[in-house]
Amino acid sequence: MGQRGYMEERPKDLSSKQLRFHRQAPVRWMSQRVLASTAARVILAKVLGAYLDKREFQALLKQDVFDHTDRDELWLDYVADVGDGFDSTYTIAYLTSRPSINPGEELPRGDILVMGGDQVYPAANWRDYENRCRGPYQAAMPTGNGHLYAIPGNHDWYDGLTSFLRVFGQQRNIGGRQTRQARSYFAVRLPHRWWLLGIDAQFDEYLDGPQLDYFAEALETMEPGDPVILCVPRPAWTWTDADPRAFDRVDYFIRTFIKPKGGTVPVVLTGDRHHYAHYRELGGPRHLITAGGGGAYLSPTHNLPDLLQAPPPDSMARHGSPVRTYEAAMTYPSKRESWRYAAKVFWRLPWLNFGFVVLLGLIHLLGLLSFLGTPGTAVAAAAGTFGITVAFAHPSNGDRKPRHWVAAACHAAGHLGLTAAGTAAWSALELSGWEAYLAYVPVSGLAASIIVSAYLFIAGGFGVNDNELFAGQSIDDAKCFLRMRLAADGLTIYPIAVPKVGRQWDAHPDGALDEPWIVPRQPIPTRFIEKPFTIPGHGRR
């Protein structure tokens, strides 16, 4: 056939039997099942991760430097946070698989697709990889001659990389793209002395010995002035104000492996936060870009700093690099649009997460029973409520600030006020019987969901639970990805916005082998997030 990929019979309809994967709804992050299972996996991954770190075993897997220097011009696509609901994930898979798109000018498909982490949600297992990532990308590009490289994010790590390595580390095809790596990190030589490096930072822990040995050997041929596209799992630079050590792992890698060779790092790419954010170095050449709009729920941008320093002056890294200051060049969505999305929490959270409303109702029923009991049980209920809100108002880096305590206290006060009001109404109406208790659950649950929504909206403005503010809404739209052109004049980055994802699809059984199995009924609009910009290569300033 001359083309890699699946040569199976094309699906006649959109049934799971025909597609050979199950189209998935967006993850309902505030549902009891997802909350419980994700919390359990996070705890196990954190506790056991150091003991079950598969990166140490990857030393047994042979992996060389991958070479793509055989052409004068090379196109690359970058996506991250892809494996959520079908509509949003397939929209990006479809667009990145088209022979070309026109968000403002005609751009050919990337020869290389880079996945920047979190290829599956809510947690890694083979079924979700098939249904939420591999299946959609195979359907979008059944055959072809592309290449695919990937690094894991925190969700890929929840099973210790077992599924990630089976999907991306076996040199198998995902549709028309060949996976080539054997490990969870890679080094790729590109035209015009550029490099593409992807590192695996496993929950921002130390880089493992085999990985460090791999890059030490891989970069032996790096020459002074060689520019690097560095792919990392998280936008650590956005948290340096709260956590001075957040950027240490990235800085360590740059100053230990790239700087001694005389290489430069003009661009660092990441996902993890599901938006586009571009920071440009003041007085310097480096660009820090978050492009995690590959399919997962939208993340806020209104809480991003206008200026940041990475590494910061008070970093505890020994022999650290000089402080660099960056300014926000562009975000997508804009901060004003982000606030508008945030305000939708009041109706989207209860509407999309009915199980969460029921859970709140059951908690408030227990509170009612406690307040109707002895003073001791009421005090215990109040203490328990405060404990829950303190646990909920968790800082991402574990460093609890006064604002977290204030947010928790205000949140607890709202729920205790609702419990007190419910108790007063119960007593005044002289309610009793199981019917009254049954009716109390949805009523109190709906009222409590409004309190939670108000808390998330207000606290999110102060950087507390801002992720939960958007996770509970499961916003499909406002997606993004990067298309990049590497040529003699440097690396040109085209940041592409997808304002509305596709929601109506048809099977395409009569298409050619290289055409997608599933096509949208209406064209999917794209546009540039900001004007494309070129980063000069070796010897160019």
Q: What amino acid is encoded at 66 in this protein?
A: F
CB 123 within 8 A of CB 41: yes
What is the CATH class of 4-340+473-535?
alpha beta
In degrees, to the nearest 5, what angle opens at C-alpha 123 toward C-alphas 211 and 133?
A: 85
pLDDT for res 53 = 61
- Where along the chain do its domains lie? 4-340+473-535, 345-471
Pairwise CA distance, residues 508 & 521, whole Å: 11
> Rg of the Cα trace of the chain?
25
State both tokens at 488: 């003699």
State both tokens at 359: 């859970």
Strand partners, 481: 496
**What's 119's DSSP letter?**
-
Q: What amino acid is encoded at 180 in this protein?
A: R
Pairwise CA distance, residues 352 & 26, whole Å: 10
Locus of tokens 């630079």 = 237
For residue 329, report the phi and psi dihedrals to the nearest 5 degrees. Answer: -90, -40
pLDDT for res 24 = 92
Helices of type H across 49-115: 86-97
Which residues of the chain register pLDDT less than 70?
Answer: 1-8, 32-56, 203-205, 316-320, 396-398, 539-541
Q: What is the DSSP string of 27-68?
A: P-TTSHHHHHHHHHHHHHHHHHTTTS-TTTGGGGS----EE-
